[in-house]
Structures are given as structure tokens and as C-alpha cells.
Structure 1
Amino acid sequence: MLKTLAYALLLIAVLLSVGLAAAWLYLRTPDRPAAELERRYAGADDHFIELPGGLRLHYRDQGDRSRPVLVLLHGYGDSYATWEAWGQALQDRYRVISLDLPGHGLSAAPADYLLDADALAALVVDVATRLGLPPFVLAGNSMGGGVAWKVALLAPRQLRALVLVAAAGWPAHTQGQSPSLAFRVLQHPIGRWVLARIDNKPLIAQGLKAQVHDKGLITEAVVQRWADYQLYPGHRTILMSAPPGSHSQATAEKLAAIRLPTLVMHGEYDPLIPVENSRKFASAIAGARLITYPQVGHLPQREIPARSAADLRAFMDTLR
């Protein structure tokens, strides 16, 4: 009886091991060639700039070069593509530059590159200097917003104004679980190790739909593009090196030093970053204007592109 039970348990263990091995072989996905992704997604407005440390940053540059400049920074795991509607809506009166941060979109970086908000802020300043940009409006969503307010502290003379769209930075004071399964997995080292080696398309779809109020906006094409960019060489390793929320350093005292015209935007449905955080930004930065959107989640630039772009245009039109 005991021998039979032992054999049965051994058989179950073997079958489980074989099943897990088969699942791993099925899910494990290699990087895709950079040239292939660039051929598929880059167009006439897309450019690359070589930087020290093995960085080759991609950016989309739209509108007349003589017009006032707007620079856009995406969030964690996102890309310049999140700003496409804004670029189309604003390029008639502004030069719109949407930048891919290292480990995102079509920007190349060494696989050991560490995502650090202070380093990314310095990188944005360097890129702006190399491109010869005059003082510009800087806007960022989520992680990109966290980088944007750090740029405002690091190099205020290079900016005309600051725009924070559901910006990261305030420490989390709750222990509630993220609605995104991927973000929950990212909190664990083994989870990050696995995500760095598989095609994360199913998790991307679930995570994006969790971030928005209108789930229909997250189409197959949107998900596929996110997934393709994660398969750019080295991107998954870079993304897993710094899970979301690992650079929460904002304080009212720090932000009080920002003396730029500032617009703060936030969807009231946002399940990732509480709208209260944007109220804190608006309170801490003197003269900041806050706009919140009912039934809008974490990505106003995707969810209500016409309305959010119009609000941004109205704000920028007041600048002198």
C-alpha cells in the first residue's frame, strides 16, 4: 500500500515536472531583432540619437522646427506610441517630440541599464541639449511624469512649463494589490526573472485593460505593439530591473522649489496612481492648475485624447 502510494506520488511529480518544462519551453521567447522592429514601426518622423554608454535613443519629431517645443515622456513599459493622438492634435502649432526612454519602445540600451528616475532626468536634459532645443514644455505620464518633475528641479532654465499626467513620485501609503497581475508579479524576484524571459502579451493585455475605464480602447493592435516593444533586445531585462513604484521620492518641500507654470492632469478612475497624488502635486507647486477627468483611468492621452490635448493646448497658449 505504501509502496503503491509512493509510486503514485512519484508519477505525479514526474508529470508535473514534465508539464512545467513543456510550459516553460512553450512560453520562453527570445528577443526580436532591433532592425525588424524598426522596419515595422519607425516612419519618416522617427529619429535616433547616439549617446554615451551604449545608448541609442529613439524619438518621434513632429511639426515645424521653428515652433515652440513640447517634449513628451511615457510611463513604465509604455512608449512614444502613447502620445500619437497628442502629436497629431498639437503639431499644427507646436513641435512635438515624444521620446522613448531606455528599455522602452525603439530605444537601445545595454541589458544591464538600470532605470533610475534621477539618471533618466539627466538623460532628458542631455538629449535636449544635444538636439539644441530652446526652453520647452515638458510633459510626462506616470513614470515619465516622475522623471519630468525631476527635470524641472535639475534644469529649470531649460523648461518653459511642466505638465504632469498621473505622475509618479509620491510614496504609496496603502498595501492594496495592484489591479494589474503583471505589476503584482513584478514585486517578486522570481516573478521578474520569469517575465524577463517570456512573451508577456497576455499580462500586457490584462494590465492595460485594468488601467483604463473603457476596456474597448485596448485593441489587439495596441497590445501587440506593447508586446513587440518588450521583445526589443534587452528591454525585458531592463524593465525587470526596476519594478514600478521603486522611485517614490516626492515631498512637498522638494516640489516647492519648482517655479514653472504647471498643469496637473489625472483620471479619477485611475487604479494605479491615486488622483489624490496629483492633488498633492498641484498643492505643492505654486500656481499649479489641476484638471481631473471622471470615468478616465491612468492614460488620459489614450482614453480622451481630443479633450486632454485641448486642455493642454489651452494651457500652453497662455505661456509667454
Structure 2
Amino acid sequence: MDWARQGGDWPNRGASRFVTARPHVWHLQELGAGPVVLLLHGAGGATHSWRDLMPALAQGYRVVALDLPGQGFSRAGNRLRLGLDGMAEDIAALLAQEGIAPQAIVGHSAGGALALRLAEVLPEPPRAVVGLNAALGKFRGMAGWLFPLMARALATNPLSAALFSRTASSEASVRALIRSTGSQLDAGGLALYRALLADRGHVDGTLAMMAQWNLDPLLAGLERVAVPVLLLTGGRDTAVPPQTSARAAARMRAARWIDDPAHGHLMHEEAPETTAAAITAFLRTQGVG
């Protein structure tokens, strides 16, 4: 996405800055002061997804959010580093360069898996990890066929990003996609997703991420996860069923699972204040804030 053309009304625009940390150019947002909480969005998302949760958390924390490389306004400098391990290593390098030491990492969907992997590679692990509808298994519903389809299309057709952007970014298509996750967003939220899906570069970055996505090593080692983990789920989530988090929590040493039956996959956008309160309560039990 082009910041000069599309960033004028981006949520929390005043908190944005750009950082070059090889091999990527990163879009970061920072709000608040206190212990650092890092936010990692899911596949196909961007910092917009934290638009209301971020200010709520910033009342007690220094909140740092970033666009994953190739998505939103972050430019990928190496398309071969958009899988789980490559992104975790590159985010760790970015944080080291900027002197950012997160005491907690919050990840949504695929960002939840990335948060756990990042906690493993950081030289100083965080004191807590929170997964929001963490994708610690296979996607279901529309995402269950959409993401594998996107990955296969990328491998076989170099024009797939442009084709997908044209067909999937209509108002009706975006509304159907969000509805298929079990969530409901207002017109402003839908417009932001439509802008992302209409951008060929963003879609291409998402395709590249999904083409390289491999959770098997992370899932195989869940029993070794020592950092305290909270897995929050929306009971209406039809993309990543809540039982995915329940099973993952049961395998980890110090993990809790809490379900909110009223919301879906985008619970942090549907109910930012409630989600922020649950995150803050957990972080305080871990001495963060």
C-alpha cells in the first residue's frame, strides 16, 4: 500500500513511523508509555485491526504495532522470508535495532502463532503471550479453503494477486468474507478491509505468507512452551474454532483458555474494550503493568 496515497485517514495515523530494518521497510505504530506490549496482526490484516484496542491498552502500556512484511504499509525486501520462522527472526532483528523489548506479545489469528514463535527466538523472552483466536491449527469456514487456494494460486499464476484483488474487494465480497468469520463490523471497519483487499501489493504479500506458512514445528513443540500464555477466543469464530485454542492450552505448561461466546474471529475489533480488559487483567497477573 502507498502511504502518501492511502495513509491519509489510516487509523492512529499520528502514531505511525517507518523503519528500515533489513531486509524490510516496516510500518510501526506506537502509543502510550510503560511496559512494552507488541501487537501482531493476522494474515491479510494490518495495524488497522488494532485501531480501537491499541488506544485502550495504551492507557497503561507502551503499545507497539507493526504491519507484517508485505502487508499493509510494510514493504517486503525478501519474499523468501515471509513464513513463520523468517518473519519471527526479522521482527526480532527489528526490535533489537529499535531498542524495543516487549514484556508481552499479543497476536491475532496467524499472529498468535507468530507471537509464540517470536517468544522462542527473542534473546529476552516476554513475560506473557496472548493469542486472540490464535491460528494454532487449520483454518475452517471460508478461510479454510481460501488460504490454501491463495497459496496454490501464487505458486502457479504470477497474476493471482491482481486477479484476487479485482474479484474479492467488492463491497459484497468483503461483507461476506467478514461475515464468514463469525464477526460483524461497522461500515468503517468493512471499508478498511476493502481497501486492503483492493491493493495488489497487500494481497501479494498475504499470498506469499500463506504459501510459506508451516505450523508443524511450532505445534510439535507446544509442550516446551514455558512462557505464560492466555488464549482468548470468540465463541462465534467460524475460521478458527475455539476448541483449537482449548486443545493448544491443554498442551502448554502455563496456558489458560477463555472463551467469549458473544463474538467471532475479529473479537478485538468487535469488542475492543472488553478484549483490552481481559488482556490487561492477565498481564497484571504476570507482573506486566
Contact 1:170 1:250 in 2 (8 A): no
Measure the CA separation in 1 of the matches of 2:90 and 2:236: 32
CA contact (8 A) 1:164 1:263 kept: yes
Is the partner of 1:39 in helix, strand or coil? coil
Aligned to 1:269: 236
Q: Does the CA-based 8 Å contact 2:128-2:227 persist in structure 1?
A: yes
- Offset at 1:43? 2.2
Alignment of 1:196 onto 2:135: no
Q: Which of the two has higher C-alpha Rg?
A: 1
Counterpart check, 1:307 vs 2:277: no
**Consecutive unaligned residues in structure 1, runs of 5 or more:** 1-31
Pick aligned residue for 1:90 from 57, 65, 68:
57
CA contact (8 A) 1:116 1:247 kept: yes
Structure 1 counterpart of 2:5, from 36, 48, 57: 36
For the Cα contact (< 8 Å) 1:171–1:249, is it kept in 2?
no
Query: Is 1:211–1:271's contact at 8 Å kept on the other side of the alignment?
Result: yes
1:46 partnered with 2:16:
yes
TM-score with structure 1 setting the length: 0.78
Cα distance in 2, alignment partners of residues 282 and 241 from structure 1: 29
Tell me the distance in 1 between the aligned counterparts of 2:143 and 2:127: 36
Partner of 1:73: 40
* Percent identity of paired positions between Structure 1 and Structure 2: 25
Listed one character per residue, the Cα deviations across residues 205-235 of structure 1 (whole Å, up to 9, x for unaligned) are 321121134x3x242x323222323455732
Q: Which residue of 1 aligns with 2:181?
A: 211
Query: 1:142 aligns to what?
Result: 109
**Cα distance in 2 between the residues matched to 1:179 and 1:117:** 18
Structure 2 distance, partners of 1:159, 1:253, is: 21
Question: So what's the TM-score if we normalise by structure 2?
Answer: 0.85
Q: Which runs of 5+ in 2 are unaligned?
A: none
Q: CA–CA distance in 2 between the matches of 1:114 and 1:227?
A: 26
Aligned to 1:234, the other structure's residue is in SS state helix
AA aligned to 2:28 is Y
Stretch moving more, 32-41 or 300-309: 32-41
Do the aligned partners of residues 181 and 252 (structure 1) sit closer, same or farther apart at CA in structure 2, a change above 3 Å counting? Answer: closer
Match of 2:259 in 1: 292
Task: Give the secondary-structure state (helix, strand or coil) at the position aligned to 1:256.
Answer: helix
Tell me, yes or no, if structure 1 residue 186 matches structure 2 residue 150. Answer: yes
Residue matched to 1:165: 132
| AA at the equivalent of 1:39 | G
Separation of aligned partners in 1, 2:141 and 2:179: 16
Give per-residue Cα distances to partners, 1:148-181, cap 9 Å, x unaligned: 1111222262312111111123257xxx753688
- Secondary structure of the 2:231 match is strand
Q: 1:170 to 1:163 in 2, by over 3 A?
A: same
Asked if structure 1 preserves the Cα contact closer than 8 Å seen for 2:151 and 2:208, the reply is no
Partner in structure 2 of residue 116 of structure 1: 83
Distance 1:295 1:250 in 2: 32
Distance 1:205 1:275 in 2: 22
Q: Following TM superposition, by how much is the alpha carbon of 1:77 offset from its aligned partner in structure 2, in angstroms?
A: 0.6
Q: CA RMSD in A?
A: 2.7
Q: In structure 2, do the counterparts of structure 1 residues 315 and 177 end up closer, same or farther at CA, with 3 Å as the change threshold? A: closer
What's the offset of the Cα at 1:301?
Answer: 0.5
Tell me: CA distance 1:111–1:231, structure 2 relative to 1, closer, same or farther (3 Å).
farther
Check 1:251–1:239 CA distance in 2 against 1; reply closer, same or farther (3 A cut). closer
